[in-house]
Structure 1
Amino acid sequence: MYASKMKGRVVRNVLSVFVFLLITGSMWAQNLNVTGKVTDKKGEPVIGVYVLVEGTRTGTSTDINGNYTITAPSNGKLVFTSMGYKEAVATVNGRANIDVVLEDDARVLGDVVVTALGIKKERKALGYAVSDIKSEELMKNKTANPISSLSGKIAGVNITQSSGAAGSGAQIILRGGTSGSEGKDNQPLFVVDGVIYDNSSTLVGNSAFDGSYKSATTTSNRVMDINPEDIENMSVLKGPAASALYGSRAANGVVLITTKKGKEGVVEVNVNSKLSTAWAKSLPEVQTQYTRGYMEDQYDKNKNYLGTVFNDFSYNSWGEKSTAQTYDNMGNFFQGGLIYDQSASVAGGTKNSNYYLSGSYYDQQGLVPQTGYNKYTFRFNGEQKVGIFTFNANAAYSQAHTDRTLTAAGLYGSQGTGALYGVYNWSPFDDMTHYMNEDGSRFRMFGDRLEPWEERDNPYWIINKNKMYDDTDRFTGSLSVKADVTDWWFIQYRLGIDSYTQINSNRIGANGAIKQVWEKGMMSDNTRRFKYLSHNIISNMGKKFGDFDLNLLLGAATDDTETDANYMMAWNFSVPNFFSYANASTENKQFSHSASQKRLVGVFGEFRASWKNLLYLTVTGRNDWTSTLPVENRSYFYPSVSGSFVFTELLPKNDILTFGKLRASWAKVGKDTGAYETNTSLWPVGTYLGGKVGVGNSWTRGNPYLKPEMTKSTEVGVELGLLKNRLRVDYAYYTNDSYNQILSPRGPQSTGYIFCSINAGNVYNKGMELTISGTPIETKNLTWDMSLNIAGNRGTLDGLPAGMDVMYVTDVQYAGAQAASFNGGNFMAIAGTKWTRYKYDPKVEGSVKEADGQIILDANGMPTYTTSLSEVGNREAKFSGGFNNTITWKNFSFNMLWEFRVGGDVINGTKYAMTNSGVSKFSGEIRNKPLTVTGVDASGNPKTNTWTADNTYLFNGVQTSGYNIIKSYYSSYYPMETTNYITDVKLLRLRTLSVMYELPKRWLDRTGFIKRASVSASANNLLLFTNYEGDPEVAASGAGVGGSSSVGFDYCGVPATTGMTFGLNLTF
């Protein structure tokens, strides 16, 4: 019995052990080492994805190549989570390799973004602000200029379209300017597919020197050479901490543009066709009561007043009242413009290669007759993987042509007017279309009473006989090779080139209202060649050690920039209007040549560390050596440090506060100067071809002791994701201190130079940026995504040397005002004149307290004024922003983009010119009303005078009609208080309203070859609510003016446009 029991126990124990071993063995058999790669829908690796074995605490993260390794049960599940993507779950099912493609999640705050040098990083790891715009968002308000498509969409990014002219440029400024000098560009660095891309604008007529021929016009900025359809993504690195790795070229921030490439396993052909219409918006009103001419006071030989007599011998419209026929000269001149935009692309790829090939044609008819802009673009992007190596090649070619016209400032002669000045100031009682006689000669309004060069050309004569155009041919490209030495270390070398030739041409017809020496015509061609060549190599190592992720990047770069310019001019042709240099004698030809070379060499490094997806730290350093500074100062080092703290990693998971992050950064960035500014250049004297040539000193004295400009920046911010990230908040506060400004102030004449280069002055910016975005509605068929951004910046200047109280951006004055930066004042100031006002001084006997601040009037009762310029306005907005909405319902997508602005002065030089010439509606109203001027005399005694147009008064010692006194007041005295033509702007603009319909797939399947198709319609600049008389988005001298720019100056430019666009997109 006992033996039987013992036997039973042994059997049970043996069976238990066997079962235990069987189960244990089975468990061991179920655990696998799983490897794989995580990519997005475009095939790009996603770094930092957290891979978790479901139901356990076992987890890991993907490396910089998107790879991961984890041990998991053969029948278990892997959960993949990453900010910016929807959660993915994969069943192991005995597989040792599992690749996963993550889908984008628009609601999630912390996705992966492209940063300096094209390195992708998790947004939550960044200690500074980076904003990015996808191609889909850019296409909602696509324009020929990619810069314009950013308007209103990113906090702290200020976009100003210089005018409504075909091919006109746009200016972009991030967080205020850092350089006050006219020659220093404050726009950010542009980098396309890892290669620096020149975005300069040719300056034509923006100062007294380069505008000596009064050839003012608006020009393009060179980013327009890119086809917007080729852009996959644009990332804006706003602060120096974000862009420090690019060195001295990136002190103003960086705009990274990534172009498209093919996808694995798919060959797609895309065709995009758009037709747009545009028409002038916000044209100023004109008076239609008073004719061209003036009312002349008449006296007898004893100077007794006889009354007024009408005289039509004037271009101005201060004549007599009339009910004669009037003409809408302005409305008839600006034509409706058409835009044809066609593009096509082919893209495809395999597991180890991809390609993208595109071409486009853009043709824009300008608002001004005889003007337009067209361009062709071609692009090839290719990538091939061979073993551990990845070879990449990008090449792009563009060809652009622009026909322009003279804007406000015209030619010598023609009373200094261009075509548009004439349009705005032509009398409505004269038919402006009558510009030519039947025999083809110019119609002369006053016959032989004026010499030709004393006359003012008709705008139609100017646009038909005086041609201005430019042609640009550009090639950009890069070759790179990347070696994935291990799964945590790669080395990459890139060669990049940016080369273009731009020819700016002028053709002035014979027998126009021009200076006498050009009576038989003039031609000029300015040919500028630009070439940029770069080499850079980087080594990037990233590895995980327990809870720590460490990354070290080291690199070196060499940049060479060369420019070459030839200028030729000929005049007094033997055969009028035959434009050939062979048609002019040697003494009537001129030639000049200039060239420059610049080299920048840099070494840099970046160390990144993170701990448990909770704490992130980034430290960078770069040292540059530049050829443009003295040997003692050409080497300069600048570091940066930034970090972030994702505090929600410490909190229990909840649906209220889903994500929270604090960030901070500090950075120092340098900026060198242009070529040869340390030297005193010699200029040719007497450069006529065939003549004797001498040399003389240039206007500017060089400085062999120049130091680089430096900028120190501090930024703090917070990012929040609320209500399961349905609501997202991003706030930043920053300060930028830019010191050692390289300036060229006027020096004493005893030096023999007009200017001298020095280091002096600080430009200080501080501001805030707030972005609130979210998805208020998300159902199966209806989604509403919105984004509100608000930003404000205050830029000031101080530290100028003794005796230098102001820096003028340009020598050209608009309405008696200039763009300027004042010592101790605003960086984007307006310099103007003021009426003299009484100052009460209690220490002076007889000083009248009640008169303090009153206008001091002269003996005639008119305001006295100062001729010296002082700060009278600030062109920088107090705050501005945009409100972007996209509503998707089934196959429809609706987009509405509003922009708003509070503050920022704009000077209305157009109204000033039209009032002075008696054409503005304002000038018609004022002569119908009594004029009352109130103030005090020099002693502080109250003084008031009133004049009416139909009475006479003693003025300047003689009897004068009230009509002419009123005219004199508004022509000579009223403008001397510059603020009379300045508006502190407030605006609300509907920038874009669009709808897109994607055709149902079941319809397309019937064709057998169309994969996707959509139709769209949009309206641009549809509504504008503002207190300004016109459109305040202006930059009278174009986008290329450095320093504080010409933003905020409105002077007889091509008006802003409103337009409609209709589009068709097909994918095969």
Structure 2
Amino acid sequence: MKNDYCLSLVLLALFGMSSPYSAKAFTGDNIPSTQSTLQAKKITGKVMDATGEPIIGASVLVKGTGTGTVTNVDGNFSVDAQQGSTLVISFVGYTSAEIKVGAGSIYNVTLADDTQALEEVVVTAMGIKKERKSLGYAVDDVNAKELMKNKSTNAINSLAGKVAGVTITQTSGAAGAGSQIILRGGTSLERDNQPLFVVDGVIYDNSTSIIGNSAYDGMKASATTGSNRVMDINPEDIENMSILKGPAASALYGSRAAAGVILITTKKGKEGNVEVNLSAKYLTSWVKSLPKTQSMYKRGFYNGLDSSGKAIVDDFTTNSWGEPYAAGETAYDNVGDFFQNGGAWDTNVSVSGGNKTGNFFLSGSFYDQDGIIPTTGYTKTTFRFNAEQRWKMLTFNANVAYSQARTSKTLTSAGLHDSSGTGSMVALYGWARSDDMKHYLNEDGSKYRIFEGRQELSADVENPYWMLDNYRLKDDTERFTGSFSVKADITDWWWISYRMGVDSYTTENSNRIAEGAAVKDLWQNGMMSENSLRYQYLSTNLMTNFSKSFGDFNFNLMLGTATDATKSTTNYRYGWNFVIPGFYSFGNISTADKYLVVNRSKHRLVGVFGEFRVDWKNTIFLTATGRNDWSSTLPVENRSYFYPSVSGSLVFTQFLQDRGLMDDSFLSFGKLRVSWAKVGKDASPYATTTYLENAATMLGGITGYGTSWSRGNPVLKPEMTESTEIGLELRFLKNRLRLDYAYYTNNSLDQIISPRGPQSTGFIFFAQNIGDVYNKGMELTISGTPIQTKDWTWDASLNLYGNRGTVKKLPVGTDVLYVTDVQFGDAQAASFNNGPFLGISGYHYKYTDDGKVILDQYGMPTYDKDTRVLIGNREPKIQGGFNNTISYKNWTFNMLWEFRIGGDIYNGTDYYLVGKGLSDLTADRESLTIAGAQQDGDTYKDVTYTFNANETYNLNGAQVSGKEVIQKYYTDYYYREGLNYITKVNSLRLRTISLNYELPKAFLAKIGIKRANVSATANNLLLFTNYRGDPESSSAGSGISGSGATGIDYCCVPPTASFAFGFNVTF
């Protein structure tokens, strides 16, 4: 009883914000008292929520005294109080109520949800909580309850469709696949464009760990699926996520925050009895969409005519340009049969509690997933301990987290293994349906090869089933994060705090290929690599804050200093040619065939910062910040750089109401905000220096050194982003309807890029400050509660977001900037000078001035194979989400839709399948009609060619069958027009649908349970789109450098749909 009473007091202090609309008191059958008003009498009543359900354990306190009680399992209470005294009723998550004791003795009270009160305070930069109305920039908060509606093992995914200006791409359906997140478009042409993550005040690395060196072991980011490191956090531990989208909101974090910041606050214990929470969920998943293929034609290709003029069919190919299936012949569903249903168990337990001077939170979780690709999976184990202790004027906080994650996976594309198809997805999608892919072993257990004796092993396309048995790829990550802080509240207007934080993890990657693989000759006796990345980050932060009021003005000054030190060490160990077959160990490789490469990197950043805030009558707010950083990665003369910000807001409704010019009956709240900020980004380590790097070092001790591919630039300066933002916030009808609009510009100047130069200089890349990225966009969020009755509540939120990113001032002679040499199909992700940041580069046919395709003398399209041009812009025009939550008594139903309008996607999967003769686009092979124009002297005349399969034609000077003409059109000409594979995408996706039932509290109390619920959730069930695939597929993986490769879809692991059932119990 005493603990519950103390708990109520603390919760009242933290969350109690009284409102004339928050409680209703009723007196029934009240008999006027004949006793003196100074004599205490027994007061009884019942405390209920808005649905009429009793609130168990609510605090009922006689104000100004030590007298109080808590409600029982039926919500009833009894307390002694004098007439004229005030009862204070409170409970966590509800607005407190005050009831004046009159002549009656029975008081029933309904507490309103405290969502509006909690909404008024948000977490901002440096973890400082501020009133939302005081902010001159956009900040969005997503609480634990909202995150759990569509919980994902990757916390990033739970933001999808919920916040304007936030773009989430779930890159793959593979187990352990990462996701990528962008706030308001990319700001850097070649650097990381994902936001900075800060967990409990400590910067948290979110890199995608793709370990391996293309020059040595054939691994690269596009060859397999990686996890972004925020996946190491247990989503159940998260209390709140704050998204700081603009530089004005994030400038205090320094140069690492140029792309925005996501603040994650983890859970703490609360004063009162110790609580034990247990939750478990089982999830089953299945492939949602597969490439559209034909099942009419067998493996083969047409190659000339025989002596009788009949088309010759050659089966010495993996392509499917052969003859139609005869009666009784089987077209195998190789793609559909390859995948399996995935499954995952998600189990969590936590213990929390506290008293008046401290609290603690302890949790553990285990996640175990089987992937949709056989033999693949992902497991994650996490532990967390958070504690807080107050002693006199000091408050101590400690946060410790440990996680261990393992991914078992397969190569999804060829990498650099020098084969014609060493990648499970590439080989799978291109496998001829006339061949049973499950036949990959001979009867004696040896490898079955379709073309054995007809071609070299390295020329084979590897069977995906053999690959699963004999290729082994694993990632193991062990991570420790922690922080310790102390805060001294010296006076009621002055405090000082110090925090030290650490983030450390080791990722170990192993890659093994067995003997007999279809790889280059050097590795056909087996190959293996073991690579490790050791990442260490240490930070300190010292801050002091002064707050004083003078008349109608409130002043706040915060000063601080921060230091960051980052160190990473990467070891590549690889070798080939196993001495004893089947024994996979480096000890089974001769010294001459194994090598070691070591890379080390260090980065140090020191910063000082300050923030000054002033407001007048809690109506007009002004904030100015400044930060100066000194970076170790920049030259001495440019090492120091300063960036300021200024923002302001006017609560005009308060201003008008104070003067009696309006009331709040219709427009309850209105605010204008404006901000300007400048934030810098330093260079990568060693970009200023031309350095030697060690060549592959034999483990036997032989080594060598050579210059790196990149020439250092000793005069580099930081990139700078200038941002402006204006916004409007409106709330109507006592907060029942809310609107938030923002318009922003981000101009990122002096980009640090390394365009290719002539190799005659001895280098390939040269870093320099040149090029600008301009982003402008708008965000609109409309939310409200259309229905709110005793039993029913409907909350709805619609968010819209549009951004335009353009590039200017690239180096002279550089019209197109490529972040990578990787080419998917015939397209490349690229940024274009005076064009889109998220462009697509490809080829075009030759056209007449009026837009007709120029045909050659044989009727085939002509093209320019030497000039790449802009063929698409990957950035959507509009994207957003529509989130609905409907509650009826103990039932809660949630449905989240996501949509996008515009933006191009290059369908590299179709490109690949068309060339293989497997795409359904090639199913009509009886005739082909090509319309265009042919040159006729100095002009062009319109022509149309029709080729019939059963006739012969002159093509390029040779007589061929019509079947071969049709084949060659698709294999040699069709792909030369990049627009043939570009789709301007519109889509509507049902991201999440869930149903939750809270068991009655009165029933649970009888069996010793505080709270319990059961839930069912489905993800990605419906997709309406004009795209021939899933618009979310991305060949880029979850790491984003520069423009990345989002919007390029090339033989990706298909996305999944899923269904989950779970329960949550609190004791």
The Cα shift of 1:213 comes to: 7.1
Provide the C-alpha distance between the structure 1 equivalents of 2:113 and 2:638, rounded to a whole number of angstroms: 48
User: Which shows bigger deviation, 946-955 or 375-384?
Assistant: 946-955
Match of 1:737 in 2: 747
Residues 222 and 1035 in structure 2, CA contact (< 8 A), matched pair in contact too: no
Match of 1:202 in 2: 209
Residues 408 and 1051 in structure 1, CA contact (< 8 A), matched pair in contact too: no
Match of 2:597 in 1: 592
Distance 1:894 1:294, change over 3 A: same
The Cα shift of 1:77 comes to: 7.6
The Cα shift of 1:461 comes to: 0.6
Distance 1:582 1:716, change over 3 A: same
Match of 2:164 in 1: 155
Q: What is the 5 A alignment of 1:222-233?
A: 222-233=229-240
Which of 369, 375, 391 does residue 386 from structure 1 map onto? Answer: 391
Distance 1:731 1:92, change over 3 A: farther
The Cα shift of 1:205 comes to: 8.3
Provide the C-alpha distance between the structure 1 equivalents of 2:1002 and 2:215, rounded to a whole number of angstroms: 65
Match of 1:760 in 2: 770
Residues 563 and 606 in structure 2, CA contact (< 8 A), matched pair in contact too: yes
Match of 1:618 in 2: 623
The Cα shift of 1:39 comes to: 10
Provide the C-alpha distance between the structure 2 equivalents of 1:632 and 1:210, rounded to a whole number of angstroms: 40
Provide the C-alpha distance between the structure 2 equivalents of 1:538 and 1:767, rounded to a whole number of angstroms: 34
Match of 2:71 in 1: none
User: Which shows bigger deviation, 556-565 or 576-585?
Assistant: 576-585
Distance 1:760 1:229, change over 3 A: same
Q: What is the 5 A alignment of 1:271-286?
A: 271-286=278-293
The Cα shift of 1:772 comes to: 0.2
Provide the C-alpha distance between the structure 2 equivalents of 1:781 and 1:104, rounded to a whole number of angstroms: 13
Match of 1:319 in 2: 322
Provide the C-alpha distance between the structure 2 equivalents of 1:944 and 1:292, rounded to a whole number of angstroms: 30
Match of 1:30 in 2: none
The Cα shift of 1:797 comes to: 0.3
Residues 149 and 994 in structure 2, CA contact (< 8 A), matched pair in contact too: yes
Match of 1:898 in 2: 897
Q: Secondary structure, in 3 states, of the residue corresponding to 1:970?
A: helix
Q: What is the 5 A alignment of 1:20-59?
A: 45=14
The Cα shift of 1:106 comes to: 3.2
Distance 1:1052 1:626, change over 3 A: same
Match of 2:1025 in 1: 1026
Match of 2:271 in 1: 264
Residues 411 and 514 in structure 1, CA contact (< 8 A), matched pair in contact too: no
Residues 595 and 696 in structure 2, CA contact (< 8 A), matched pair in contact too: no
Residues 218 and 1037 in structure 1, CA contact (< 8 A), matched pair in contact too: no
Q: What is the 5 A alignment of 1:768-847?
A: 768-839=778-849
Counterpart AA for 2:1059: M
Provide the C-alpha distance between the structure 2 equivalents of 1:560 and 1:622, rounded to a whole number of angstroms: 18
Percent identity, aligned pairs only, is 58
Residues 209 and 229 in structure 2, CA contact (< 8 A), matched pair in contact too: no
Residues 222 and 413 in structure 2, CA contact (< 8 A), matched pair in contact too: no
The Cα shift of 1:138 comes to: 0.5
Provide the C-alpha distance between the structure 1 equivalents of 2:778 and 2:237, rounded to a whole number of angstroms: 32
The Cα shift of 1:611 comes to: 1.1
Distance 1:490 1:691, change over 3 A: closer
Provide the C-alpha distance between the structure 2 equivalents of 1:686 and 1:996, rounded to a whole number of angstroms: 57
Counterpart AA for 2:795: D
Residues 7 and 271 in structure 2, CA contact (< 8 A), matched pair in contact too: no
Match of 1:33 in 2: none
The Cα shift of 1:91 comes to: 6.6
Provide the C-alpha distance between the structure 2 equivalents of 1:877 and 1:915, rounded to a whole number of angstroms: 26
Q: Secondary structure, in 3 states, of the residue corresponding to 1:317?
A: coil
Structure 2 gap segments, 5+ residues each: 1-5, 21-62, 65-82, 103-109
Q: Secondary structure, in 3 states, of the residue corresponding to 1:463?
A: helix
Provide the C-alpha distance between the structure 2 equivalents of 1:317 and 1:1062, rounded to a whole number of angstroms: 43
Provide the C-alpha distance between the structure 1 equivalents of 2:165 and 2:597, rounded to a whole number of angstroms: 42
Residues 274 and 1062 in structure 1, CA contact (< 8 A), matched pair in contact too: yes
User: Which shows bigger deviation, 40-49 or 688-697?
Assistant: 40-49
User: Which shows bigger deviation, 1041-1050 or 880-889?
Assistant: 1041-1050
Distance 1:209 1:107, change over 3 A: farther
The Cα shift of 1:748 comes to: 2.5
Provide the C-alpha distance between the structure 2 equivalents of 1:89 and 1:940, rounded to a whole number of angstroms: 89
Provide the C-alpha distance between the structure 2 equivalents of 1:620 and 1:193, rounded to a whole number of angstroms: 22
The Cα shift of 1:46 comes to: 6.2
Q: Secondary structure, in 3 states, of the residue corresponding to 2:310?
A: strand
Distance 1:103 1:258, change over 3 A: farther
Counterpart AA for 2:287: A
Provide the C-alpha distance between the structure 2 equivalents of 1:624 and 1:177, rounded to a whole number of angstroms: 22
Provide the C-alpha distance between the structure 2 equivalents of 1:800 and 1:117, rounded to a whole number of angstroms: 36
Which of 507, 510, 519 does residue 512 from structure 2 map onto? Answer: 507
User: Which shows bigger deviation, 572-581 or 702-711?
Assistant: 572-581
Q: Secondary structure, in 3 states, of the residue corresponding to 1:941?
A: strand
1:479-510 Cα shifts (integer Å, max 9, x gaps): 00111101121111001000000011100011
Which of 427, 433, 455 does residue 428 from structure 1 map onto? Answer: 433
Residues 742 and 779 in structure 2, CA contact (< 8 A), matched pair in contact too: yes
Residues 40 and 102 in structure 1, CA contact (< 8 A), matched pair in contact too: no
Match of 1:119 in 2: 128
Provide the C-alpha distance between the structure 2 equivalents of 1:542 and 1:90, rounded to a whole number of angstroms: 34
The Cα shift of 1:108 comes to: 6.7
1:503-550 Cα shifts (integer Å, max 9, x gaps): 111000111111111111100011000000000011011122222111
Q: Secondary structure, in 3 states, of the residue corresponding to 2:697?
A: coil
Provide the C-alpha distance between the structure 2 equivalents of 1:711 and 1:48, rounded to a whole number of angstroms: 40
Match of 1:242 in 2: 249
Q: Secondary structure, in 3 states, of the residue corresponding to 1:456?
A: coil
Distance 1:139 1:1033, change over 3 A: same
Counterpart AA for 2:511: N
The Cα shift of 1:154 comes to: 0.2
1:922-964 Cα shifts (integer Å, max 9, x gaps): 2223x13333232232743223322111111011111111111
2:642 corresponds to 1:637: yes
Match of 1:357 in 2: 362
Match of 2:880 in 1: 881
User: Which shows bigger deviation, 539-548 or 212-221?
Assistant: 212-221
Distance 1:602 1:44, change over 3 A: farther
1:690-725 Cα shifts (integer Å, max 9, x gaps): 364332211110100000000000000000001111
Residues 586 and 689 in structure 1, CA contact (< 8 A), matched pair in contact too: yes
Counterpart AA for 1:116: A
Q: What is the 5 A alignment of 1:571-582?
A: 571-582=576-587
Counterpart AA for 1:439: D
Residues 413 and 455 in structure 1, CA contact (< 8 A), matched pair in contact too: no
Residues 217 and 529 in structure 2, CA contact (< 8 A), matched pair in contact too: no
Structure 1 gap segments, 5+ residues each: 1-36, 52-68, 94-100, 840-851
Residues 1014 and 1064 in structure 2, CA contact (< 8 A), matched pair in contact too: yes
2:293 corresponds to 1:290: no
Q: Secondary structure, in 3 states, of the residue corresponding to 2:557?
A: strand
2:703 corresponds to 1:700: no
Q: What is the 5 A alignment of 1:995-1010?
A: 995-1007=995-1007, 1009-1010=1008-1009
1:1008-1064 Cα shifts (integer Å, max 9, x gaps): x21111000011001000000111102202011300111111111110000100011
Q: Secondary structure, in 3 states, of the residue corresponding to 1:857?
A: coil
Counterpart AA for 2:162: K
2:505 corresponds to 1:467: no
Residues 334 and 367 in structure 1, CA contact (< 8 A), matched pair in contact too: yes
Residues 208 and 810 in structure 1, CA contact (< 8 A), matched pair in contact too: no
2:563 corresponds to 1:558: yes
Which of 833, 858, 861 does residue 860 from structure 1 map onto? Answer: 858
Which of 511, 520, 524 does residue 525 from structure 2 map onto? Answer: 520
1:98-117 Cα shifts (integer Å, max 9, x gaps): xxx99754357961000001
Distance 1:413 1:627, change over 3 A: closer
Q: Secondary structure, in 3 states, of the residue corresponding to 1:415?
A: coil
User: Which shows bigger deviation, 958-967 or 145-154?
Assistant: 958-967
Could you say what the CA RMSD is over the residues aligned between the two structures, in angstroms?
Answer: 2.6
Residues 998 and 1014 in structure 2, CA contact (< 8 A), matched pair in contact too: yes
The Cα shift of 1:214 comes to: 9.0
TM-score normalised by length of structure 1: 0.89
